[in-house]
Amino acid sequence: MNLPKEFIQKYQKLLGDDAKDFLASFEDPATNGFRVNPHHQSLPANLNLTDPVSYSKWGYFGKISGRSVAHQSGAVYSQEPSAMFVGETAAPTASQRVLDLCAAPGGKTTHLSSFLGSTGLLVTNEIMGKRSKVLAENVERFGVANALILNETPEVIAAHFPGFFDTVLVDAPCSGEGMFRKDPDGIKYWSPDYVRECAVRQQTILAEAVKTLKPGGTLVYSTCTFAPEEDEQTIAWLLETYPELEVLPIDKTAGIVDGHPEWADGNPELTKTARLFPHLMRGEGHFVAKLRLTSELTAPKKSRLQRGNLTKDQKMLLDSFVADSLQSVDWPSRRLITFGDQLYLLPEATPEFGHLKVVRPGLHLGTFKKGRFEPAYALALALPTDAVRHNVTISITEWAMVVHGDQFKHDALPVKKGWVRLVCDNQPVAFAKVVNGAVKNFFPKGLRFDAHLN
């Protein structure tokens, strides 16, 4: 790998005797990994779960095809192993209010949701419009039911949610040095000036993020760079600027090492931060710090809960669908909200949106059409087995037809007409409508693809 001369010289000076092994590690292949989805009641039969990531509750080394049942159904999420350490460090508990401030493409968000289950509120935000749509797709594919997905600036988030969150994750945009093996094109953008620009941006983001923390709340800061300017020096700035913050220790295993106070202001508290170096462990480069707010920094504002707005006619259509196609579901009217003709289930305790740019206000339940209700793809992936009246097991060949958008015949359908959920390899894959013995395909047009069956 053709690393910049200034990059090499910088880390030779910083790492000393370790620099040789560190620089040699850039010639090794990137490490692949995936997490299994605890929202799913069972996993695909052919998943290779023989090589677990020791510090990750649901993580494994290995590569998953993006055109497989496991990936499409949300049974797994492809994620680089070092990145899993970030979610494990945050590890929110049930019913917490959690913010993922810089969330796209969704790896950290889906990991946070694994800890929360269906409880609490997960506000997940991405400032870039196109990337926020990718975030929404990944959140829905993972079956996350309690996420409010936003497309906002940190400033707006801080103003709307002062002193609100128990856990805040800032996986900050950075110079990406730790991902050079995975994305060599990132080398083109690297320069000492770019590193400094990133550090300034990170401070700006963190200054807003801390405003959203409630007393006793935790802030997890992470980057995928080795640059001290963006890592230890950023945390040193944070501690100096906000005396209300304290650094919490992080358990370090599998070659993860302490941060370097000497690369910042010498504050010994910085040894509690964590560095992930590819020459010391199986994974790419990361930095992680965990801090706690010891006293109130920003007074919370009183906010009413967002209320549902379902009309009487819409409720009749929804009730008809539920009676025919679902069971064991409880969707309180106060949590049912429409955006146009689209219906969503709000997460519990969702505050009023105000003027927030909302990408998804919760779990997408479906669409109101003239005289009927059509269930959403997201709902098919989120509901447990016993919540759907008619689950139809299909073959891998039929699954390939589904994701390609084709209609097909199927033996032994449980209804002559009506909605069924298609299941392949024990995984829910989509809703479909049975019409005259044929399975009418409702797999989203924008997500269709040619499957790899080998």
Amino acid letter, residue 397? T
Residue 224 belongs to what H/E stretch? Answer: none
- Please name which of 11, 13, 14 lies closest in space to residue 260, comparing C-alpha atoms: 14
**Residue 412 pLDDT grade (very low, low, confident, very high; cuts 50, 70, 90):** confident
**Residue 443 pLDDT grade (very low, low, confident, very high; cuts 50, 70, 90):** very high
Tell me the per-residue pLDDT of 279-338, one tens digit each, with 9 for 90 and over: 999 999 999 999 999 999 999 999 899 999 999 999 999 999 999 999 989 899 999 999
Phi, psi angles (nearest 5°) of residue 90: -70, -50
What pLDDT sits at residue 65?
Answer: 94
What mean pLDDT is predicted for residues 353-359?
96
Contact criterion met (CB below 8 Å) for 117 and 94: yes
Residue with the two structure tokens 């994305």: 183
Q: How many CB atoms are located within 10 Å of the residue 100 CB?
A: 31
Tell me the per-residue pLDDT of 43-102, one tens digit each, with 9 for 90 and over: 999 899 999 999 999 999 999 999 999 999 999 999 999 999 999 999 999 999 999 999
Out of 174, 198, 224, 424, the active site residue is 224
**Residue 343 pLDDT grade (very low, low, confident, very high; cuts 50, 70, 90):** very high
What pLDDT sits at residue 454?
Answer: 60
What mean pLDDT is predicted for residues 368-386?
96
**Active-site residue, 174 included:** no
What mean pLDDT is predicted for residues 204-232?
98
What mean pLDDT is predicted for residues 415-436?
95
Name the binding residues.
102-108, 126, 171
- Please name which of 276, 225, 286 lies closest in space to residue 252, comparing C-alpha atoms: 276
User: How many residues in total does the chain contain?
Assistant: 454
In this predicted structure, the answer to whether residue 452 has a pLDDT above a threshold of 80 is no
Name the binding residues for S-adenosyl-L-methionine.
102-108, 126, 171
What mean pLDDT is predicted for residues 232-257?
98
